[in-house]
Amino acid sequence: MKHKIRTYILLVFVYLIVAAPFKVMEVIPGFADIRPVTLLGPIYALFYGIPGCVIFAVMNLVMDIVSGDLAWSCIAGLLANFAGPFFILYYWKRMSREDLHLRSMSNIMKHIVLIIFSAVLEAVIITPSVAFLYDVDWKLFFISVLLNTSAFPILFGIPLTVFIQEELGFKQISRKDM
């Protein structure tokens, strides 16, 4: 139990280290910013399961609160930031016949498609709440969410996942632990 608590505290700490420096880079002031921290969503999901998805979603909400961006639309953000990584976890653990490894081009392409689908899912969840509650260009907001939640996990998250698996020897969460 102590090991799990230390692990979860470490995940929170890593999230804060990656998220905090970029909180000032806004695309739409008060609504959308550049979020390299999104690269951690699939990683947290695949290596830490549902608790990783929860930590990722809650930390996004915490960053919104700390930065003063807390609004009703943050509930949609909380749901989306859980659902996106969870979808990736669910695919690799329940739907795929093989475990995640990014040693083959077919698995890399599968993972990229999953990340893009996850990004669309997140944008579809968040955008209507923001567009309904605030006077925001919903198309720009949708594109911002889509790019943040796909570009960073693909460009930086995939190499980090390979490094974590191959060099550090981390194992993804097992099917029975999901």
Q: What is the pLDDT of residue 82?
A: 98
Determine, yes or no, domain membership for 65: yes
Determine, yes or no, domain membership for 68: yes
**Chain-centre distance for alpha carbon 83:** 9
Determine, yes or no, domain membership for 178: no
Determine, yes or no, domain membership for 89: yes
Q: Is the pLDDT of residue 58 over 80?
A: yes
Determine, yes or no, domain membership for 173: no
Q: What is the pLDDT of residue 95?
A: 87
Determine, yes or no, domain membership for 177: no
Residue 31, φ and ψ in degrees, nearest 5? -130, -40
Specify the number of domains making up the chain. 1
User: Rounded distance, CA 144 to CA 148, Å?
Assistant: 6
- Please answer whether residues 86 and 79 qualify as being in contact, where contact means their C-beta atoms are separated by less than 8 angstroms: no
List C-alpha distances in Å: 129 to 74, 126, 155.
Answer: 9, 6, 28
What's the domain range around 33?
2-167
pTM: 0.88
Q: What is the pLDDT of residue 135?
A: 81
Determine, yes or no, domain membership for 48: yes
Condensed to tens digits (0 to 9), the pLDDT of residues 92-113 reads: 988 887 778 888 899 999 999 9
Condensed to tens digits (0 to 9), the pLDDT of residues 67-93 reads: 766 677 789 999 999 999 999 999 998
Domain harbouring 146, CATH code: 1.10.1760.20
Determine, yes or no, domain membership for 176: no
Q: What is the pLDDT of residue 6?
A: 93
User: Rounded distance, CA 17 to CA 3, Å?
Assistant: 21
